[in-house]
Amino acid sequence: MLRALTLAALLLAGTANAENLVVHAGTLIDGTGDAPRRKVSVLVQGDKIARVVDGYVAPAGYRVVDLSSATVLPGFIDVHIHIGAKLPSTTNATEDWVTHSALDRAFDGAVFARAMLQQGFTSARDVGGSDDSVAVRNAINAGKIPGPRLWVSLEALGPTAGHGDPRSGLDPDLFHPGWEQGVVDTPEQARIRVREHKRRGADLIKIMPSGGIASTGDDPRQQLMTDAEMQTAVETAHSLGMKVAAHTYPAGAIEAAVRAGVDSIEHGSFATEQTFTLMKAKGTYLVPTLTVFDVFYRAASEHPELLTPGTAEKELANDLLPKQNMPRALKSGVKIAYGTDLGQGDHTLEFSLLASSGMSPMDAILTATRNAADLIGASDRIGLVSAGHYADLVAVGGDPLKDVDLLRHASFVMKGGVVYREGGLPAAQP
């Protein structure tokens, strides 16, 4: 009994050390897109996968993890999160913004990161935070708190009164040091901000070419950054080895961002066939974030008073459109990566929404494994169950290729060779 309690405590705290393990997988979906393999052994040495072999082997010095009745997959990757963001139905957005500090958001982020890991997400991109996101990333990397390994962008870069301006909708006299760190109104300012973000610890850059929905006073159907501002931000980021994600909705702004050289379009809700053709030709990823539209549509319908001023109407007018546009994206063959736009909440919902929009279960899995790793630029480390990659594994019962909703119920989670969930331990609740 004592041993069981100790194991449970280690799993929940995430303090267990990596050891040599052999995972017996009844079915293995390895993230390549190839057909599943049956009765496979995944040999783990430290934090990496050493070998993947057919049959069940039990080498001396390895502890056996029996997942012979489960389907094993690579750890999931969410490429669009905001690690300290609360669900819109749980708090008044404006009140929360002006009464909580970056330290508060870092502690929230630690809680939400742990919950993400329990859901099976072993890697993620935070595309719009502040110093709190860097602190959470560093704490995870140092083993101080459990969570997915993070790539962070710091503040998204956009114009005054744009989607990322923290002062929109507030008393004009209110100001806080740091609120200006994402504001870009000239190409030269874009260059400086990108360099500052790099200095402060950013792994990638996010820009805001268009207006948004969950923000006061801006129009999601307008391009708000100039082509020159976007071009300079992208050129500077790429020169520093950082990729660029672009929040944008309307077709014209998407196409301008793609021509500027961004690596991914986040949302892309009003894209046209022409837009997707251009994205495919340039190799630009789409991150559709269907989850956030589902979550905010419900919030706008049930608790409009909790949203920032004037945004409930925008949510109700626009949040049903992205899912309606997804079949067009799928038909185009544009590359798609998995993103939810959540911090708190259920990051697995995107699997079901992608499938309900016409994507096959295997392709939905690939958006959160191979494709997501490629977009991040870490295909040599994450996204596959393959020798030399991090030992990031998720297991679910049954066959997710027949029932994609099974991906929403991980029974086993390993990150970097450390088991964080085993034997049906309950997921942490925010």
Tens digits of per-residue pLDDT, 258-311?
999 999 999 999 999 999 999 999 999 999 999 999 999 999 999 999 999 999
**273-282 and 251-260 are packed helices; what angle lies between their axes, rounded to 10 degrees?**
10
Q: Which residues contact 142 (CB under 8 A, 6 or more apart)?
A: none
- The string over 232-252, giving b where at least 16 C-beta atoms fall within 10 Å of a residue's C-beta and e elsewhere, is bbbbbbbeeebbbbbbbbbbb
**Tokens for 223?**
């391009």
CA-based Rg of the chain, rounded to a whole angstrom? 21
The whole-number pLDDT of residue 384 equals 98
β-sheet bridge partners, residue 210? 223
Residue 90 has pLDDT above 90, yes or no: yes
pLDDT band at 78 (very low <50, low <70, confident <90, very high): very high
Tokens of 266: 């986040």
What are the structure tokens assigned to 157, written together?
């870069």
- How big is the chain, counted in residues? 430
Mean pLDDT of 31-60: 98
Q: How far apart are CA 244 and CA 236, in angstroms?
A: 10
User: How far apart are the C-alpha atoms of 111 and 343, rounded to whole Å?
Assistant: 10
- State how far the Cα of 268 lies from the Cα of 251, in Å rounded to an integer: 8
What are the structural domains of the chain?
2-75+384-421 (2.30.40.10), 76-376 (3.20.20.140)
339 CA to centre of own chain = 5
Give the count of beta carbons closer than 10 Å to the beta carbon of residue 78: 29
What's the pLDDT at 423?
72
151-160 pLDDT, tens digit per residue, is: 999 999 999 9
Q: How does pLDDT run across 377-397, given as a tens digit for each residue?
A: 999 999 999 999 999 999 999
Quote the pLDDT of residue 19. 83
Q: What integer pLDDT is reported at residue 17 of this predicted model?
A: 63
- Going by pLDDT thresholds of 50, 70 and 90, the confidence category of residue 175 is confident
pLDDT of residue 424: 55
Lowest model confidence (mean pLDDT) among 15-29, 191-205, 239-253: 15-29
Taking the mean position of all CA atoms in its chain, how far away is CA 323? Answer: 18
The single-letter code of the amino acid at 375 is L
Considering the entire predicted model, what is its pTM?
0.94
The amino acid occupying position 169 is G
100 and 84 in contact (C-beta within 8 Å)?
Answer: no
Q: How far apart are CA 286 and CA 335, in angstroms?
A: 6
pLDDT digits (tens, 9 = 90+) for 184-231: 999 999 999 999 999 999 999 999 999 999 999 999 999 999 999 999
Q: Are 83 and 136 in contact (CB under 8 A)?
A: yes
| HEC assignment per residue over the chain | CHHHHHHHHHHHHCCCCCCCEEEEEEEECCCCCCCCEEEEEEEEECCEEEEEEECCCCCCCCEEEEEEEEEEEECEEEEEECCCCCCCCCCCHHHHHHHCCHHHHHHHHHHHHHHHHHHCEEEEEECCCCHHHHHHHHHHHCCCCCCCEEEECCCCEECCCCCCCCCCCCCCCCCCCCCCCCECCCHHHHHHHHHHHHHHCCCCEEECCECCCCCCCCCCCCECCCHHHHHHHHHHHHHCCCCEEEEEEEHHHHHHHHHHCCCEEEEEEECCHHHHHHHHHHCCEEECCHHHHHHHHHHHHHCHHHCCCCHHHHHHHHCCHHHHHHHHHHHHCCCECCCCCECCCCCCHHHHHHHHCCCCHHHHHHHCCHHHHHHHCCCCCCCCCCCCCECCEEEEECCCCCCHHHHHCCCEEEECCEEEECCCCCCCCC
Percent of the chain's residues with pLDDT above 90:
92
